Amino acid sequence: MTEQLRLMAVHAHPDDESSKGAATMAKYVSEGVDVLVATCTGGERGSILNPKLQGDAYIETNIREVRAKEMEEARQILGVRQAWLGFVDSGLPEGDPLPPLPDGCFALEDVDEAAGALVKLIREFKPHVVTTYDENGGYPHPDHIMTHKISVVAFDAAGDPERYPDAGEPWQPQKLYYNQGFNRPRTLALHEALLARGMESPYGEWLERWKEFQRPERTLTTHVPCADFYPVRDRALIAHATQIDPEGGWFKVPMPIQQEVWPTEEYELVRSHVETSIPEDDLFAGIRKN
């Protein structure tokens, strides 16, 4: 293609873009791809997960503004553009029985109405490829599941002139992917590599939980080589200071081991309007040659 390639990554909260597919985005930016992160909510109901910042009255009172500043720093590190869809964080309900979701939150929006905001952004940005979460949300946070729902509706509707007629000129993205970076083969490979080197693994409990869930394995259609950009990913993650403990589990595996043992990020291709061959090593496979 002579036209600049464009990638849109749809995420639920600020920080999700840095933990899911961030190295892929940084790689494509380095190749001249125009990358836009669409962030559905402001993360205003998120907990402060960094123990060093817990109890900070300013952060607790101004969490939305703080997380927006963190997002801007991460955006600059990754080299991407970013847009807010403007929905309100639903929070993660806990308890048995689960409490109801708060009024006005993202997860309680009408799916078709909420998808309209994303359709408008797709028609403005004109991405060739869109990434989002699978039907489980990657994990069952109500905002992640809602992100999946509106992304699928918007992907299918954006090119249809009869749908959302007030949202701009139709544009049909060519491919839709689900992020599958937290997959069992990757986790097991890193776990075994650490044990083989006589090191402690942070993944033992994860692997046990996978057995409990008994979910079928996802189809990993696309492995994007991006190990050189893992340090960029980690810097973007650390920029979300309220959400990430720099001494926590995210960073327990030494960088050289990550880059050697598992040098790719994984995706599941779920829609394609171009011909491609599986497995892929490029989200733009089938588009670059057209």
SS3 state at 246: coil
Rounded CA separation 4/127 (Å): 10
Contact 77, 235 (CB under 8 A): yes
Query: Is 16 labelled as part of a ligand binding site?
Result: yes
What are the DSSP calls for 115-162, one per residue? HHHHHHHHHHH--SEEEE--TT-SS--HHHHHHHHHHHHHHHHTT-TT
Query: Is 128 labelled as part of a ligand binding site?
Result: no
Peptide bond into 140 cis (omega under 30): no
Query: Is 11 labelled as part of a ligand binding site?
Result: no
Contact 11, 36 (CB under 8 A): no
Per the structure block, which two tokens stand in for 205? Answer: 């409990």
Question: For residue 1, what is the DSSP state?
Answer: -
Rounded CA separation 233/237 (Å): 6
Q: Give the up-direction half-sphere exposure of residue 78: CA atoms within 13 A in the CB hemisphere.
A: 36
Question: For residue 53, what is the DSSP state?
Answer: T
Distance separating the N- and C-terminal Cα atoms of the chain = 6
What length is written for the chain?
Answer: 290
In the chain, the amino acid numbered 183 is N
Which residues are documented as binding site?
13, 16, 144
Which residues are documented as binding site for Zn(2+)?
13, 16, 144
